Amino acid sequence: MKKYIKRVLIFFSIVIGIPSVYAQDTHDLLLIGANIIDVETGQITENGILAIDDDQISFVGNAGSRNNHMGQVEIDLSGKYIIPGLWDMHVHIEGKDLIEDNKALFPLYVAFGVTTVRDMASDLGEQVLTWRDDISSGALFGPQIFTAGRKLEGIGSIWPDDLEISNEQELALMLDKIDNYKVDLVKITDNALNGDLFLKSVQASHNRGYLVSAHIPYDLTISDVADAGLSSIEHASYLIRLGSDETPIVDQVKSGNITNAQAQLSYLNNFDQERANTAYRSLADKGVAVSPTLIGSKKLTYLDEETENNHPFRQYLTDLFVSKYQWRIDRMANDTLADKQRRIRNYELVASQLPHVQKSGMLILAGSDSAPVNTFVYPAFALHEELTYFQDAGLTPLQCLQAATINGAKFLDKMDELATLSEGKNADIVVLNSNPLDDIKATQDIYAVINNGTYLDRGALDKILETARQKRNELNQSRN
């Protein structure tokens, strides 16, 4: 109806000479004067205007088109920078004893500019699917969720409530269950799943039309998994294997002559960059993406408990949530100096691969791997930290932004709906005080967020933060 009225006004202004102001397009919301960043090209429209109607971007242009547009609400953003809402492409919304804790964190994602997340399966699979649909319908406030629900694993997985299988018949039954869940992708890990059945799981999931994201077992080559239909490698630590000839090492693992740990050490000690670069190009040709998740390794490799215990984000996390962090710290308690040095070598080598991966054409998906069991990887804020690690590793700020916006949309085939500041796209937008193309840390300096077309100024965002603090305190008190 609104668009019809606009067309009628324009028609009568031409026919009977109504003053031109009535021929203007009138929008629900008009953002004026900001620097609008095209994350595909890195170009900036200075002193731009951006119009929103309902929950979609309806116009993007420069100051010269200002006279043709007006808004029911107009906001002056002179000197600010506008980017699409950020995507965290690897989170785990998990913990059956943390249902209320997780739910309370959803608004924080939006407050920190993260308007889309990809949940990589957990023991709360069915609950996350419900939350996904509730957010989509507007019944719950939070970031848009894409989810794998529950992941495929072998019998006796250390992770609770995986879909455990021991043969192809059970695989088919579990994929039927996944079909009924209506998930957005399939996640497969190798904690207890042997290589042969793992490979068949990738193939079967791919054949049903799913995107397949996975860890890589030591008894398979990455090339074999890619050829079976792999869509994304979760964690860049696996890429180190591509600097060696995997086949003889895989054969030794299969025969029991070496352990997984010995195989990993061999990959680290014998890494060849040119061989790895060739392999990256091959994966790019096969359409395989990677979510590096540097932050978890970074935090543990350079462990600083005092700083982390005083991290500002901790005010939003319940004591029960934070208590889950301890197990990884305890696991490193008896590490030797050699263990610590090897961990540093491994992290630095993995991080150094990002520019090579970028050059190869592989899609890099920014993901934090935030989860209660991932020590000091804070939901919502961790994505911003991950982007700084990308920049430290040698990616440009624009490449970092692309990893946290359009790359996720390309991977999930949502570019026609999301991830750029273009007409017809969903209005998920972040307004920044400074230019992220100069320094990616600017994504942390948020002036406003538009989530699904709703404008949240700094005051509204601060209220979200305060509500999250209060909810955290209430949950702590109820448990004490």
Query: What string of DSSP letters covers 352-369?
Result: HTHHHHHHHTPPB-----
Note the pLDDT of residue 24. Answer: 76
Note the pLDDT of residue 67. Answer: 85
Q: What is the mean pLDDT of the chain?
A: 94
Give the burial class of 322: count Cβ atoms within 10 A of its Cβ; 0-12 exposed, 13-18 middle, 19 or more buried. Answer: middle
CA–CA dist 70, 66 (Å, integer): 8
Lowest mean pLDDT among 28-37, 63-72, 230-239, 248-257: 63-72
- Whether the pLDDT of residue 78 is over 80: the answer is yes
pLDDT in tens, 262-315: 999 999 999 999 999 999 999 999 999 999 999 999 999 999 999 999 999 999
- Whether the pLDDT of residue 23 is over 90: the answer is no
Phi, psi dihedral angles at 67 (to 5 degrees): -65, -15
Residue 44 tokens, joined: 């900036």
Q: How confident is the model over 5-11, as a mean pLDDT?
A: 35
Q: In the structure, what pLDDT confidence band is assigned to residue 52 with cuts at 50, 70 and 90?
A: very high
Note the pLDDT of residue 3. Answer: 43
Q: Which residue is listed with tokens 């000839």?
A: 245
Q: In the structure, what pLDDT confidence band is assigned to residue 17 with cuts at 50, 70 and 90?
A: very low
H or E stretch including 401?
helix 397-403
- Whether the pLDDT of residue 63 is over 90: the answer is no
Residue 408 tokens, joined: 């996720």
Q: In the structure, what pLDDT confidence band is assigned to residue 64 with cuts at 50, 70 and 90?
A: confident
Neighbouring C-beta atoms of residue 265, cutoff 10 Å: 14
H or E stretch including 205?
helix 195-207
Residue 460 CA to its chain's centroid (Å): 24
H or E stretch including 290?
strand 289-291
CA–CA dist 427, 407 (Å, integer): 18
- Whether the pLDDT of residue 61 is over 60: the answer is yes
Torsion of CA 413, 416, 417, 422, to 10 degrees: 140
CA–CA dist 312, 453 (Å, integer): 29
pLDDT in tens, 300-350: 999 999 999 999 999 999 999 999 999 999 999 999 999 999 999 999 999
At 395 the three-state DSSP class reads coil
CA–CA dist 307, 378 (Å, integer): 14
- Whether the pLDDT of residue 419 is over 80: the answer is yes
DSSP 218: T
Residue 337 tokens, joined: 């100096």
- Whether the pLDDT of residue 4 is over 80: the answer is no
Q: Which residue has the higher pLDDT, 112 or 5?
A: 112
Note the pLDDT of residue 65. Answer: 84
Q: In 332-395, which ranges are continuous DSSP H helix?
A: 337-352, 354-360, 381-393
Spatial CB neighbours of 229, under 8 Å, sequence gap ≥ 6:
202, 203, 205, 206, 207, 212
User: What percent of the chain stands above pLDDT 90?
Assistant: 93
Give the burial class of 216: count Cβ atoms within 10 A of its Cβ; 0-12 exposed, 13-18 middle, 19 or more buried. Answer: buried
pTM of the predicted model as reported, rounded to 2 decimal places: 0.94
For CA atoms 92, 297, 256, 249, give the dihedral sign. Answer: positive
Q: In the structure, what pLDDT confidence band is assigned to residue 20 with cuts at 50, 70 and 90?
A: very low
- Whether the pLDDT of residue 5 is over 50: the answer is no
- Whether the pLDDT of residue 146 is over 60: the answer is yes
CA–CA dist 277, 156 (Å, integer): 36
- Whether the pLDDT of residue 72 is over 90: the answer is yes
Q: In the structure, what pLDDT confidence band is assigned to residue 193 with cuts at 50, 70 and 90?
A: very high
389: closest CA among 419, 352, 430, 438? Answer: 352
pLDDT in tens, 98-120: 999 999 999 999 999 999 999 99
Note the pLDDT of residue 19. Answer: 40
Task: Classify domain 2-83+423-466 at the CATH superfamily level.
Answer: Urease, subunit C, domain 1 (2.30.40.10)
Q: How confident is the model over 355-368, as a mean pLDDT?
A: 98
Lowest mean pLDDT among 12-26, 27-41, 99-113, 216-230: 12-26
Phi, psi dihedral angles at 255 (to 5 degrees): -80, -10
**C-alpha distances out from residue 177 to 213, 269, 331, 467, Å:** 18, 42, 35, 37
- Whether the pLDDT of residue 14 is over 60: the answer is no
29: closest CA among 52, 13, 57? Answer: 52
Phi, psi dihedral angles at 115 (to 5 degrees): -100, -5
Inter-residue contact 277 to 239 (CB < 8 Å)? no
User: How many CA atoms lie within 13 Å of 241's alpha carbon, on the beta-carbon side?
Assistant: 24
At 45 the three-state DSSP class reads strand
Inter-residue contact 241 to 266 (CB < 8 Å)? no
Q: In the structure, what pLDDT confidence band is assigned to residue 480 with cuts at 50, 70 and 90?
A: confident
Q: Which CATH class is domain 85-411?
A: alpha beta
Q: What does the domain layout of the chain look like in residue ranges?
A: 2-83+423-466, 85-411
**C-alpha distances out from residue 152 to 121, 165, 281, Å:** 9, 7, 28
- Whether the pLDDT of residue 241 is over 50: the answer is yes
- Whether the pLDDT of residue 163 is over 70: the answer is yes
CA–CA dist 254, 248 (Å, integer): 10
